[in-house]
Structure 1
Amino acid sequence: MFDLLIENGRLVMPDGIVRKSMAVKDGRIAAIFPSQKNVDAKHTVDAKDCFILPGVIDDHTHFDEPGYTEWEDFFHGSRAAAKGGVTTILDMPLNNVPPVTSAVRLQKKAALALGKSYVDFGLWGALIRTNRKDLPDLAEAGAIAYKCFMCDAGSDYTDLNLEEIADRLQVLKQLGGLAGFHCEDFQMLKDSEEQCLREGKKARQDYLNVHSIASEKKAVSDLIDVVRNTGARAHICHVSHPDVAELIAEAKREGLHITAETCPQYLLLRDTDYLKRGAIFKCSPPLRSETARKQLWQYVADGTIDTVASDHSPCTLARKDESGLKGAFGAWGGLSGVQTTLQGFWNLAVHEHEASPLLVAKVLAENPAKIFGLWGRKGALLPGFDADFVLLDAQRDWEIKAKQLEYLNKFSAFVGLTGQGLPVATYLRGQCIYEDGSFPAAPQGKFVLAKGHPVV
C-alpha cells in the first residue's frame, strides 16, 4: 500500500504533461499510473485538475541567519518559500555573521536551520580572498556551491581579482565544486561611486548610472575569459540585461562550461519602478529598462538562461532609508521574492508568452537540480525522486498583498502585481507543508548536500 496518491491532476514531467496519478511511498515518488487504475493508498488527494509541478528549487536566497535575524530567519523565510511552491532553497553564505567561510561555520548554520525550516535547504560556501585553504573541508562538509563577488561586498566578504578567480576555479575543478559569481566590475563601480559622492550626486538615477550595464558586461566578459583559459565551470548569478545574456549565449555556443541565472525582478519590474517608487525597488545589479525587461525573456525561452531564482534579500524597512549621507547609495539593495517567484514566473511564461508549463518546471526545478548536484533526488516528477511537488491552480487569479506575505518584514517590490496561476498546496517528501493558507505540519526541512553526499 502506498502512503499517498495524487489523482486528477496534470503532471508536468520532463518529457511532457500527462493526466495520470502519482503514488508516494516513504517520502519518494513510487509510481505513476494511468488515472483509471485502482490503487490502494493510505491517503488520496484530489488535485482537481491542477497542474502538479516539481517543487521549486530556489538556488539563490539570503535568509540572513545567523546574524541579521531582524531582517529574516529560516522560520519566516522557509514558510514564505513553502507558500510559494518552493521545496528546496540554496542559501547564500552572506548576509550572515559570520559569513560561511569554513566547514565549521557551514555545519553550525545547518544545525541552526534544522527544526526551523519548512523546506529542505542546501548551503553555499564563501569564496573570498582568505579561505582558499578551507575549500576542501567546505566541499567535504557538503557546500552546494561557492559564492564569489567581482565587486565590493563588504570588508568581511572580500572580492576576488581575476588572477585569484582563475586560481580558485582550478581548486574547485579538482574538488568537483561550482562557483557562482556576482558580476559587476570592482573598479568601475568603485571609481564611479566615489566620483558621484564627491560631486554630491546621490540620487536614484546616479545609483543606476554607477551600476551600469557596461559594468556588468565587463565582469561577465572577464569571467568568460577566465573560464576559457582554465577549462573550469562557472555559474553567473542574477543576469539583469539581454546584452549580458548575449555574451553568455556566445560562450555557450563556444562550448564553455557556463550556466546562468536571472531573477523575477528583471523579468517583471523595470528601472522606472525604482526611480518613481524608491528603494524598496533597489537591487544589485539594478532593474533595467522596459525594453531590456522584454528582451531578456527571450534568453530564458531559448535556454541561454538556465535558472530563475529569487535572490531573496530582505531587510527591515528602515534599511531602505535614502536620507543618509550617501543618499540612494546608502539604502539596502535587495528584494524579497522567494514567496512569489513561481506565481510571477508562471503568469509571465504561461499567460503572457503562452509558453509551456514544461519551461516553468525546467528553469525552476530541473535545471537547478542538475546544476547544483541534486538531480536524481530532486527536480522532477519521476519514480525514485523525493516527492517534492506543488499543486498549481492555473485558473486562480491573484494580487500580491503585503498582508499575505510570510516574510518577517512584510514588504516587497512585488506587492501590487496581479496575475493568474497560484500554488495552492506544497508537498515536501510526500508531506503537505502548505495548503491554501495553512501550514499543517511542523518544520521538517532537511540539510541537502552536494552530489556525492547523502541527505541527512
Structure 2
Amino acid sequence: MATVDLVIRGGLVVSPERVVAASVAIDGGQIVAVGHDDLMPAGREEFRADGLHLLPGAIDSHVHFRDPGYPHKETWKTGSAAAACGGVTTVFDMPNTKPATGTVEALRMKLKAAEASYVDFGIHALLGDDTVQRLEELIEHGATSFKAFVGNTFGNLPAPTDGALLEAFEILAPLGYRTVVHAENSSIMARRGQRMQEAGRHDALAHLAARPEVCEIEAVSRIIHFAEWTGARVHIAHKSSADALWLVREAKRRGVDITVETCPQYLLLNTDDMLRLGGVLRLNPPIREPRHNQPLWEALLDGTVDMIATDHAPHAPEEKTGADIWSCDCGFPGVETQMTLMLSEVNKGRASIMDYVRWSAVAPAKAWGLYGRKGTIEVGADADIALVDLGRCGVLSNRQLHTVAKLSPWNGRPVQGMPVHTLVRGRFVMREGKLVEDAAGWGRSIKPVQQMPAPQPRNTDKATSAILATPPGIPADATPAEVVALYAQQKEEGWG
C-alpha cells in the first residue's frame, strides 16, 4: 500500500457495538484503513495513541454561533474553536442571528462568516410564515435543514402559525429534509410571563414558572400530529422534561420519523442549581425540578431520546448577571464542555463509552443524512476523530473556554475524561489540548447525502399545493351548485 498522510497507531477505536484495539490510516482527509497495526501502510506522519480512545468526532446539531449580528457574544471563529477543543467536529448553526437566516441573502452572509470555522458545519435555515415559499430555494443555496421556533427564544422571532408549519411540512416531506422544532407553546408562556412580571415576580424560578411542562407537552404533541399527517421528518430540540417522553415513544412506535435531542444541562442540573446560579442558568426550555433528570437518562438509554446536543448559546457576562431574571438573556456556552461532562458520567458508570458514541456521533449523523461520511470510524468516512483520555482529570474553568462568553454554569466542576486531540477531515484542529491556530478556515459546509430511507410523504392530495388547483373536470368559474352536480356525475360514472 502506498504511503498515506497520517497513521494513528495503538489506540482503542470505539463504535456503538464495541471497543477494539486498532490503528487508523488517513489519506486525503478520509479513513483508508482500520485494523491491526502490522497491516497499516507507512504514514508521512505517524501518531502514537497508546492509552487513548478514538471516538468519531461529536456532531453537535444545535449551536448558536451568533454570527452575523452579535460578535460581542460569539463569532464563527471563536465558537468553532470551542467546538474543536471540545472534540466536536461538525456543528449545525441556528438561524436566530441578525439578519435571521430566512432569505438567500442572509444565508449567504452566514456561509461567508462560517468560512472562518475550524470545524465542518451545517446551517439550519428559518422556517416561518414568511419563509415557507423559499424553503426549496434555501436548500438550493446551502441550507441543510430548517428550524421552527414554535417556542419563543432569543431574537424574538415570531412563532410560525400552525397553517404555515403544516404547509412547510407538506413541502419538506417529499424532499426528505428534517425540521428542528423548539417545542414550547408560545401563547401560554407569553401570557404567564407577562402576568408574573406585573405581579412582581422577578426571582430565579419565575422563568421556570412561566414555562411549565404543559407547554412542552402540547407543542410536542402538535408537532407529532403534523409530522405524522404529512410524513415530514422532524427533530425535537433540547428535550427538558420527562412529561412528553411518552408522546415520543408512541410516535416512534407508529413510525413517525422523529428524532430527539437532550443536553447535558437537562441531565445534570436542576432547580437546586438555578437557585444557586440565578441568571447564569436562564435558558429555554428552562432548567427543571430534580424529578426530570433520571427519566431523561433512561430515555437516552432506551432510544426514546436519540442524541446529545448542547444548545451552545453564548452571551456577554453582563447580559447574564442581572438581579431581575427577566433581564438575563437566555442560554450559555456548552459546545466545548459537552464531551468531558458526558465522559465523566461514563467514568461513573452511568453509561458506556459505546452509548456515548451512539448519542454524540452516530445518531446525529443518521438524523441529518450524513452517516457513513460522518459519525463513524471506518473506511471511506471523513477522518473526523476525537482522541480522548478517559483517565485525565481536571476542573472546568471559565478562563479556559475559547468562546467569547466566558461564563458557564460548569465553572469549577470536577471532570474525568477529556478530548486531547481533535481531527477534522484528517487535520489536527486541536492537539495536546491546545487549539491549532492556523486551522481556522479548515471547516467546510456540508450537504446531507440523504443516506436515509426514501421520504414517505402522506396525504399529498390534501396538501396546500394540491387544493390550490381546480379539480380536473371542474371549470374554474363553476358555481357551487354546478360543482356539486359535476362531482355527483363523476361519482356516478366511476371516475370522480
Tell me the TM-score normalized by structure 2: 0.87
Question: Which piece of structure 1 moves more, 3-12 or 14-23?
Answer: 14-23
Q: Percent of aligned pairs with the same residue?
A: 34
**RMSD between aligned residues:** 1.6
Give me the whole-angstrom Cα distance separating, in 2, the residues matched to 1:189 and 1:10: 48
Distance, in Å, in 2 between the alignment partners of 1:421 and 1:38 is: 28
SS at match of 2:159: coil
SS of the equivalent of 1:217 reads helix
**Equivalent residues in 2 for 1:379-398, closer than 5 Å:** 379-398=375-394
Matched with 1:117 is: 117
Deviation at 1:264, TM superposition (A): 0.9
- Once the two structures are TM-superposed, the CA of residue 291 in structure 1 deviates from its matched residue by 2.4
Q: How many residues align?
A: 447
Q: Partner residue of 1:432?
A: 428
Closer/same/farther in 2, CA of residues 162 and 202 from structure 1, 3 Å limit: same
**How far apart are residue 215 of structure 1 and its match?**
1.1
Q: Distance in 2 between matches of 1:102 and 1:353?
A: 46
Deviations 1:155-183 (A, max 9, x none): 76221132321111111113322111001
2:338 is equivalent to residue 338 of structure 1: no
Aligned residue in 1 for 2:265? 265
CA deviations over 1:253-293 (Å, ceiling 9, x no partner): 12211110111110111112112221111111111122211
Shift of the alpha carbon at 1:109? 1.1
Distance between the aligned counterparts of 1:171 and 1:27, measured in 2? 35
Q: Residue 421 of structure 1: SS of its match in structure 2? A: strand
User: Unaligned 5+ residue runs, structure 2?
Assistant: 452-496
> CA separation of 1:203/1:38 partners in 2, compared to 1, >3 Å: closer, same or farther?
closer
What's the CA shift string for 1:37-88, capped at 9, x where partnerless? Answer: 3531111111022110001111000000010000001111111111100111
The match for 2:448 is 450
In the TM superposition, 1:191-270 aligns within 5 A as: 191-270=191-270
Structure-2 separation of matches of 1:256 and 1:320 = 38
**Mapped partners of 1:113, 1:398: distance in 2:** 31
Bigger-Rg structure (1/2)? 2
1:315-338, Cα deviation, whole Å (9 max, x unpaired): 001111434xxx312211102100
Change (3 A) 1:428 1:299: same
* Contact 1:369 1:375 (C-alpha < 8 Å) held by counterparts: yes
Distance 1:335 1:112 in 2: 21
- Contact conserved, 1:125 with 1:138, CA < 8 A, in 2? yes
**Any idea what the Cα deviations from partners look like across 1:203-233, whole Å, max 9, x if unmatched?**
2222111111111111111211222222222
Tell me the residue number matched to 1:126: 126
Unaligned 5+ segments in structure 1 are none
- Distance in 1 (alpha carbons) for counterparts of 2:19 and 2:385: 14
Counterpart AA for 2:98: V
Q: Which moved more, 1:190-199 or 1:353-362?
A: 353-362
Q: What is the rounded CA distance, in whole Å, between the counterparts of 2:138 and 2:77 in structure 1?
A: 25
1:73 corresponding residue in structure 2: 75
Instruction: Give the counterpart letter for 2:100 in structure 1.
Output: P
| Distance in 2 (alpha carbons) for counterparts of 1:178 and 1:439 | 32
- Partner Cα separation in structure 1 for residue 140 and residue 428 of structure 2: 32
Q: What residue is the counterpart of 1:365 in the other structure? A: 361
- Counterpart amino acid of 2:338? T
Are the counterparts in 1 of residues 332 and 407 from structure 2 also a CA contact under 8 Å? no
Kept after mapping to 1: 8 A contact 2:237/2:260:
yes
Is contact 1:162–1:223 with CA below 8 Å preserved after alignment? no
Residue correspondence of structure 1 range 152-191 to structure 2 within 5 A: 152-153=152-153, 157-191=157-191
Choose which of 402, 408, 412 in structure 2 pairs with 1:412. Answer: 408
Partner of 2:108: 107
1:56 aligned to 2:35?
no
CA distance in 1, matches of 2:327, 2:156: 18
Q: Is the 8 A contact 1:426 1:433 kept in 2?
A: yes
Asked if structure 2 preserves the Cα contact closer than 8 Å seen for 1:102 and 1:135, the reply is no
Q: Which amino acid aligns with 1:447?
A: S
Structure 1 residue 403, shift from structure 2 partner = 1.4
Letter aligned with residue 119 of structure 1: V
SS in 2 for 1:122: strand
Moved more, 71-80 or 435-444: 435-444
Deviations 1:221-250 (A, max 9, x none): 121122222222211000001222222112
Q: 1:113 offset after TM fit, Å? A: 1.6
With over 3 angstroms needed to count, the CA separation of the structure-2 counterparts of 1:38 and 1:295, relative to structure 1, is closer
The 8 Å contact of residues 58 and 88 in structure 1, kept in 2 or not, is answered as yes
1:186 to partner: Cα distance: 1.5
Q: Post-superposition, which runs of at least 4 consecutive aligned residues in structure 1 deviate over 6 A?
A: none
Cα displacement (A) at 1:131: 0.9
Q: CA deviation at 1:452?
A: 6.0
